[in-house]
Amino acid sequence: MYVFMKLQQHGGASLSSSGEREALEGRNSRRWRGEAGRARRGQPPSPAAPEDALCAIAVVGHGCPLYPRLPGRDCSGRTLQSDDAVETTADRDAEGRSPASHQLGHRSDGPACTPVQRALLELTVPLETLQAVKGRMMQAMREGLSRQTHARANVRMLPTYICSTPDGTEKGDLLVVELCQSHVRTLWVTLLGDGNQSPQVMYKIFSMPGDITQGKGEALFDFIAQCVCQFLAGIGSPQHRVPLGFVFPFSCRQTRLDKAELISWSKGFSCSDVEGKDVVQLLQAAINKQELCHVDVVALMNDTVGTMMTCGMGGGPCEVALIVDTGTNSCFMAEAQQVEMAEETSGRMCVNTEWGCFGDDGTLSDILTPYDQRVDQESSNPGEKRFEKLVGSLYLGEIVRHALITLAAEKVLFAGSNVAVLRTKDVLKSQQVLEIIDSEEGMTKARRALEVLGLRPSERDCCRVQQICRAVVSRAAALCAAGLAAILSHMCQSRELERLVVNVGVDGELYRGYTRFKEILQSVTGLLAPECTVTLLPSVDGTGRGAAMVTAVALRLAAHRREVDQLLAPLRLSRADLERVQALMRQEMELGLGRESNANASVRMLPTYVRGTPDGTERGEFLALDLGGTNFRVLVVRVGQDGIRMASEIYIIPTAIMQGSGEALFDHIMECIMDFQMKQALMEQVLPLGFTFSFPCQQLGLDKAVLLCWTKGFNASGCVGQDVVQLLREAAQRKQHLGLKVVAVVNDTVGTMMACGYDDPNCEIGLIVGTGTNACYMEEMRNVGTVEGEQGRMCINMEWGAFGDNGCLDGFFTNYDRLVDEKTINAGKQRFEKLISGMYLGEIVRHVLLALVEKQLLFRGKACPKLQTRDIFQTKFLSTIEIDGLALWKVRAILEDLELQASFEDSVLVREVCQTVSLRAAQLCAAGLAAVVEKMRENRGLAQLAVTVGVDGTLYKMHPRFSQHLQQMLRDLAPNCTVTFLQSEDGSGKGAALVAAVACRGTEP
């Protein structure tokens, strides 16, 4: 079915109620769809196609149905009085009915469509078909966006490199040059930064010599440059730098906003030596020849993009534009990561659909009429621009002309007239078609246009011509609506919205010249894309003021980009920076391993007394404790021939205990252990216990570790300088629990290495990147100066979080890092950790955002009291915001939860800041790890080292890009090492038990 209407007494039309519409759909949709298809195929109508069904079909918003209501009446319902009337009062039967032979669609051999009805059916596109057209357009759009299918796509989806719409702050003087069909227009636009409410515009039009469009390309651009020169001379020739926006209404392949290669000429242009060349460069060269060196071409766009930009000058932003003129096109703000032909991956970019070529692959063949086929065959580009030839006003007059030729041949129009004139191409202009469909003057206009051609139309002829014109234009509006609905649904889906609310800028002769076009476009779009709320905005000089807006926005974004880059530059590390960090880490490692130099090293390189990794022979039951944050775990681990089985329970350590006395802390730990043993029925057993204690310790034996300092928010008194295993044993005595057998104390890093070593014997490195960060690795005993012995290897707990505490990394610390460090409970300590770990990244981002707000680069410079709150921007927000393909409205939602009123551009910038901070963290981690693997390779005298890193930590596991960036940079910095990463499964729990298991394995007879 098409779109159903109530035909009101005053001649207007409105959507029927949903119930009425559903009833009509159920009764007639299949019949009408079939009749339209039969008519297009030239088949006779079915017997069940009565007059009333035909007359019920109408176009949304149109005051008159597509089909005649009664024979012998004009389109307004007036009875015809001329000799051409089908009937008179005398012709009626006794009951006032017309004779059967004169009733509409009635023939002596049964009900049938008249030729006029058939023509109208052919030009009617059912709603179901419009839905199908919408679906085909969406598929064509996807093909145009994809790098793999772009080359063969009919809807080209060309990136414009316009990544923002006006925000009202644009100001300054701008020069615009517009290349038109027969002239060049130059404009001087002054924006006042007042929300773009009152731009000041001066312009001049220069007529173009007729032969220039067919001549040399150089002559064309020289002429444009001469127009610019004359125009500037006429307004006083300003000598300051003048940015120029160039409106070039032809299909181009853009690679930057100011770089675009012409794909092909159209609209009667065929200048030589231009196709395949950068038209911006050609114009700039021509301008320079005029000695206008202060004029810079900064942006190129087509009329469609200009329409979108000018419609966004007032009120809310406009994100879609539609041109329905001699040709047709559209553009919209697409999600940048979907525009695969461009390198932009964040934010949005305006895409020029070039949808006029939609259907060139035959996807519109089911709606093409014989009239459309003839128009295409007579065009200068047969088989091309098929959608444009159905919609653009350049072709509508031709479609009507061919329909009239067919009807005249069937003797239902222009009886007694010589219709040979209708065979002359372009004899009926589209402007005349638009005048004819006017409800008030249309019949008069129709008669006048036909009489000028030498025809002698009856009033009935004029009525039928008007009906054909209305059908052609209404179809164009409906097809435009299908295309627009495809764009809107694509936007809604790609932004993951339940409802899209959007402004659409519209321009063109059809939209402006036919008052019902807007109503049809709006209504049919609403039916085809019900999930979208659309406001159509008429464009005001989209090519002139719109081009000025594109240029102004480009300048605003360029200035904005320079300032943002300046603020983020200290966080962006070069390859040389990272190689320097790698060398410094290696230097500190050597100092930490030396007996004499250890005390002065920031990387402590603590021996763990773990001398081996699992070999698969470990068996038995073991207890494990895991203390490394606010949660404390107790586990029982059963290692058997069939693998490892575990049971565990998590206990909370309140802040008051974390920062209270050491005795209270270890008493609490002991209570948790006893509770777990009771629940697991282990109170009567004495099991070997591995204790994961994830704080810096100096280990004096496998079961003896002296706490060097607290980290991660702990500050329990009486613990620093004490053996933590002894503190645990003393708590057991206080609790009178005698079944405690601690055989090994390790940190979470060593536990991670051991847990992964059970699955991969090649795992000789442990890495933690979570709330904090640390690393360990198997070092040759001969290099460990702090422990006696030369044979074999020992795991070294690097405690690399303190790397840089001696000042060796001061050159890499930014002002943002210093602000974060000053507010921590251990200022000046754990400096490397504060650049990398999850506890601090959110705070670094917060300070960067505050700096951007201060520079009025974010949130429009408005004060953000909530952003002043320490730790308000948590590191988990980075992980969420940086998820690939995350819709920007979700970024805005995160910011709004923090009471930050973010625009679309703000959301893009916040994402960039998060990406910058997390990338630096991953790269610094890679530099540290590169120092480790290179040292291991050199220790073993290998040309190529193959090693596995057991890794754990929420930042590594949960952040969407951290692991990727880390591994890529490690490959770059240590090309002679093949490093495999294996994520740990409960390294701090299972790993501690495995350390105990390996220790027990070594003591067995």
**Catalytic sites, residue numbers:** 633, 694, 748
Q: How far apart are CA 532 and CA 519, in angstroms?
A: 16
Closest CA to 983 of 946, 961, 958, 965: 958
**Sign of the alpha-carbon torsion through 941, 945, 949, 955:** positive
Closest CA to 610 of 727, 763, 728: 763
Q: How far is CA 725 from CA 608, 663, 701, 730, 991, in A?
A: 14, 13, 11, 9, 17
Q: How far apart are CA 391 and CA 122, in angstroms?
A: 15
Residue 680 neighbours by CB distance under 10 Å: 16
- Is the Cβ–Cβ distance between 754 and 611 less than 8 Å? no
Rg of the Cα trace of the chain? Answer: 39
Q: How far apart are CA 905 and CA 911, in angstroms?
A: 10
Q: How far is CA 875 from CA 465, 836, 911, 945, in A?
A: 69, 11, 13, 34
Closest CA to 724 of 749, 754, 694: 694
φ/ψ bin of 72: left (φ > 0), alpha (ψ from -120 to 50), beta (otherwise):
left
Q: How far apart are CA 634 and CA 73, in angstroms?
A: 93
Q: How far apart are CA 966 and CA 764, in angstroms?
A: 18
527-530-533-537 Cα dihedral, nearest 10 degrees: -30
Tokens standing for 105?
């669609």
**Sign of the alpha-carbon torsion through 97, 102, 104, 106:** positive
- Is the Cβ–Cβ distance between 529 and 491 less than 8 Å? no
Q: How far apart are CA 988 and CA 1001, in angstroms?
A: 20
- Amino acid at residue number 664: A
Helix (H) or strand (E) run with residue 908 in it: helix 904-939
- 60, HSE (Cβ side, Cα atoms, 13 Å): 24
Q: How far apart are CA 250 and CA 190, in angstroms?
A: 27
Q: How far is CA 333 from CA 303, 337, 503, in A?
A: 15, 12, 11
- Amino acid at residue number 84: D
Where are the extended beta strands (E) located within 829-940? none
Q: How far is CA 108 from CA 72, 94, 98, 422, in A?
A: 19, 20, 14, 32
Could you please report the per-residue DSSP string of 385-434? Answer: -HHHHHH-HHHHHHHHHHHHHHHHHTTSSSTTS-GGGGGSTT-S-HHHHH
627: which strand partners? 632, 693
DSSP, collapsed to helix, strand or coil, labels residue 502 as strand
- Is the Cβ–Cβ distance between 552 and 172 less than 8 Å? yes
- Is the Cβ–Cβ distance between 823 and 870 less than 8 Å? yes
Order of strands across the sheet with 532-538? 158-159, 348-352, 328-335, 320-324, 500-507, 532-538
- Is the Cβ–Cβ distance between 894 and 886 less than 8 Å? no
